[in-house]
């Protein structure tokens, strides 16, 4: 009896030694088929995700770009002439036929031919300048008359226009990596798209808001830096700070009840006054 039990036990031990514990978890003849189905599911999932992302990106691009659908976008010369008249208030016979004038340098263009400065911001940059001078004449005059600040209105506004274009993924050409460091997320894009649906002046208002924000930030930092050096502030650093504190923060926190041009303008102007209250009091 002991010998039988011993042989039986030995047989069981041999079976255990020959047993491959992974066998129970293999699909054997169905393995290739199952793996193929699994890979196909992964591919389908990835494809659906890519399609969804591209669709969302396309939607936002359409919503953002519709702010540039004004009928007069192709009449650059007429818009440039209008801006010249608004900015300098000349008599009819004082308007240069080719719109080339040294007056442009008074408001921050780099040469007497203003057209050469619109490369980065394009025609939208010209629209934004005309809009600011038309809708915010007092603020435009203040910047222009403050000759001691060395603040270049035109170049600053054009830089801001290009910055917002890149921030909202509206650019078509490749841009510098530093401009990609902070761009709109879903929340900011949704807010812009919502406002832009309500009023096509949203981009122009944001540009005007940012121009004032950068101006007051420039004045503030110029005053602080003048205490220790004669060098002007770092313009690019100010632009980056304004993009984060002004543009990004504002689109992240703008209240939902702001749903028309009037409310948007009031709120953005209030943000400027709250942020730079000390500078306003000293003026």
Separation between Cα atoms, residue 121 and residue 128, nearest integer Å: 10
120 burial class (0-12, 13-18, 19+ CB within 10 angstroms)? Answer: middle
Give pLDDT tens digits for 205-251.
999 999 999 999 999 998 887 777 778 889 999 999 999 999 999 99
What tokens appear for 50 in the block?
């890519």
CA 271/CA 155 separation, integer angstroms: 23
What is the Cα–Cα distance from 128 to 160, expressed in whole angstroms? 10
Percent above pLDDT 70 for the chain: 72
DSSP element (H, E) containing 106: none
Q: How far apart are CA 53 and CA 47, in angstroms?
A: 10
Q: Is the pTM of this model over 0.85?
A: no
The answer to whether the CB of 61 falls within 8 A of the CB of 170 is: yes
Low-confidence ranges of the chain (pLDDT < 50): 16-29, 65-73
Q: What is the C-alpha to C-alpha distance for residues 260 and 101, in angstroms, rounded to an integer?
A: 38
What number of CA atoms fall less than 13 Å from residue 226's CA on the CB side?
A: 9
């Amino acid at each position: 009896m002991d010998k039988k039990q011993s042989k039986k036990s030995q047989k069981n031990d041999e079976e255990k030694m020959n047993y491959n514990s992974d066998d129970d978890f293999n699909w054997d003849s169905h393995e290739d088929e199952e793996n193929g189905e699994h890979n196909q599911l992964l591919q389908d999932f990835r494809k659906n995700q890519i399609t969804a992302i591209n669709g969302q990106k396309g939607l936002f691009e359409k919503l953002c770009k519709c702010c540039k659908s004004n009928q007069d976008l192709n009449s650059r010369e007429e818009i440039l002439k209008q801006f010249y008249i608004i900015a300098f208030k000349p008599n009819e016979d004082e308007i240069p036929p080719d719109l080339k004038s040294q007056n442009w340098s008074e408001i921050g263009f780099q040469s007497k031919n203003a057209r050469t400065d619109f490369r980065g911001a394009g025609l939208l940059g010209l629209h934004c300048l005309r809009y600011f001078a038309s809708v915010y004449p007092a603020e435009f005059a203040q910047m222009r008359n403050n000759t001691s600040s060395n603040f270049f209105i035109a170049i600053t506004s054009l830089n801001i226009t290009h910055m917002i274009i890149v921030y909202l993924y509206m650019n078509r050409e490749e841009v510098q990596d530093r401009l990609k460091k902070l761009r709109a997320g879903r929340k900011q894009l949704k807010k812009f798209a919502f406002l832009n649906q309500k009023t096509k002046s949203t981009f122009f208002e944001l540009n005007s808001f940012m121009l004032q924000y950068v101006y007051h930030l420039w004045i503030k930092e110029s005053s602080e830096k003048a205490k220790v050096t004669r060098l002007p502030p770092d313009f690019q650093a100010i632009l980056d700070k304004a993009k984060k504190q002004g543009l990004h923060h504002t689109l992240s926190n703008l209240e939902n009840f702001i749903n028309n041009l009037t409310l948007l303008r009031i709120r953005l102007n209030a943000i400027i006054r709250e942020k730079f209250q000390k500078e306003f009091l000293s003026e």
